[in-house]
Structure 1
Amino acid sequence: MSAYAEGDTVAFEMLYRRHRGTVYRFAMRALHNRADADEVFQETWSRLIAARARYRPDAKFTTWLLQIAHNLIVDRFRRQRPAASDEEAEAVFRQLDAPETEQPDRVLSEFEQRRKLQLALEDLPEEQRLAFLLRIEGGLGLEEIGELTGAGRETVKSRLRYALARIRARFQS
């Protein structure tokens, strides 16, 4: 990023190739909507470009990049929240709690496992989901997740522990 900040466009191409998957998966899993994820993805890179002259390597680059995406996602949640009525919210919760019909002796395909993980992630409280995604998708440590979310190390640890327990429970049911 430092090379890109100094004008090296090849450095940007390398950053983009290396981190585009992480940013997109993070946005997609947090937002559950391809159009919204595409917008956050594009805006994240636009903001990176706009902020290149102000970039300071105080933290790991991935942490800084995911902080941009995280802030955009939080802003999107804030804008969308008032639009949902109580009835719509209840319908979403009923869908998340609805039992899935599966044959117990059948082995889940890779697609089904991914879908089950997606449903488990959707079922997590927002703080747990974001901590889990930052850890798994972003490869960030507890301190870095704490910096991004404004939570202490032990709080992040608890969120990750509870998220993992809920995901495991979802796979066992």
Structure 2
Amino acid sequence: MEQDSDEQLMLQYQAGSADAFDVLYQRHRKPMYNYLLQQCRNRAIADELFQDIWMKLISARESYQVRALFKTWLYHLAHNRLIDHYRHSQIRQAEQNGHLSPTPDQLADNPGAQPDCLLDTQQQIQQLMGLVQNLPADQRDVFLLHEEAGLELKDIAYVTSCAYETVKSRLRYAIKRLRDGMDHD
């Protein structure tokens, strides 16, 4: 079962195999969670979205059809759930504040002091994470789907409902902005 493709596993899960679901979950949980955490920068929200996406997958198992790679389909679910989350949070903020304002970003918890030899690396990682968060939303989404989720450009085009060339351009501009930002400091 470990060697079966994701699509085969999903079809096995559709037929009632809980073991197939377990293999899918183990394969995709870390990259999916990292993608969500990078997108929303809040562990509690990432946890909620992560759970919602897997519940959506469970609910959709009866209607699942192999139309694209499973991974592409899964990240399509995640992308749509993120869009829903952003819409709802913007509406709540507008109601509370009378306008839209971004929530403060929080970096992943960093227990204890880092050794001096790792300080520069840690600072570079935090700088890069900050730069990623400051990318325009469409570029950030494409960049994270490519780097965190490991999706190919054609799959990102499917997930985001954008043309392939648009995705390619957004990724190129995102990488250029990140390089320029890292070189600037």
Q: Which TM-score applies when normalising by structure 1?
A: 0.85
Percent identical residues: 40
Please report how far the alpha carbon of residue 113 of structure 1 lies from its aligned counterpart in structure 2 after TM superposition.
2.6
Find 2:21's aligned residue among 4, 7, 12.
12
Candidates 35, 60, 66, aligned match of 1:57: 66
Secondary structure of the 2:101 match is helix
1:125 Cα deviation after fit: 0.6
Counterpart for residue 154 of structure 1: 165
Deviations 1:82-116 (A, max 9, x none): 31558873896xxxxxxxxxxxxx98533223212
Moved more, 113-122 or 76-85: 76-85
Distance 1:8 1:107, change over 3 A: closer
Residue 33 of structure 2 is matched in structure 1 by 24
- For residues 157 and 108 of structure 1, the distance between their equivalents in structure 2, rounded to whole angstroms, comes to 34
- Specify the alignment match of 1:122 in structure 2: 133
Match for residue 140 of structure 1 among 151, 162, 171? 151
- Distance (whole Å) between structure 2 residues aligned to residue 146 and residue 24 of structure 1: 21
- Pick one of 23, 43, 46 that aligns with 1:37: 46
| TM superposition shift of 1:138 | 1.6
Distance 1:4 1:139 in 2: 23
Aligned length: 160
- Note if contact 2:13-2:20 (Cα within 8 Å) is conserved in structure 1: yes
Match of 2:84 in 1: 75
Which whole-Å deviations, capped at 9, do the CAs of 1:95-149 have from their partners, x for residues lacking one? xxxxxxxxxxx98533223212210111001100010111111211121111111
1:95 maps to which residue? none
Aligned 1:83-98 pairs, distance under 5 A: 83=93, 85=97, 89=101
Distance 2:122 2:175 in 1: 20
- Which residue in 1 is equivalent to 2:181? 170
Asked whether the equivalents of residues 157 and 164 of structure 2 are also in contact (C-alpha less than 8 Å), the reply is yes
* TM-score normalised by the chain length of structure 2: 0.80
Flag structure 2 segments of 5+ consecutive residues without an equivalent.
1-9, 105-116
Shift of 1:155: 0.5
The letter of the residue matching 2:165 is E
What RMSD over aligned residues (CA atoms) do the two structures have, in Å?
2.1
Q: Aligned pair 1:111/2:154, yes or no? A: no
